[in-house]
């Protein structure tokens, strides 16, 4: 697993992931909230790890 996210990309993912997870799990309710929360968790994990499978599939990288 090679890092394919630049530092700025990782920071944006973690911040956006925290916001989405908070609103999804704590502010919203129902199925929409759960989906939003899971998307937030995925963003947090990919930001912390530095690897995005979608980038890999598309042959894309923000890391130079």
Mean pLDDT, residues 1-30: 94
Q: Where are the domains of the chain?
A: 10-34
DSSP assignment of 4-64: ---HHHHHHHHHHHHHHHHIIIIIS-HHHHHHHHHHHHHHHHHHHH---HHHHHHT--S--
| The pLDDT value given to residue 41 | 97
pLDDT digits (tens, 9 = 90+) for 31-50: 999 999 999 999 999 999 99
């Amino acid at each position: 697993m090679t890092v394919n996210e630049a530092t700025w990309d990782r920071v944006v993912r973690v911040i956006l992931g925290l916001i989405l997870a908070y609103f999804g799990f704590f502010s919203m309710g129902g199925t929409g909230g759960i989906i939003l929360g899971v998307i937030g968790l995925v963003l947090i994990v990919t930001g912390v790890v530095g690897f995005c499978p979608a980038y890999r599939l598309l042959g894309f990288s923000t890391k130079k």
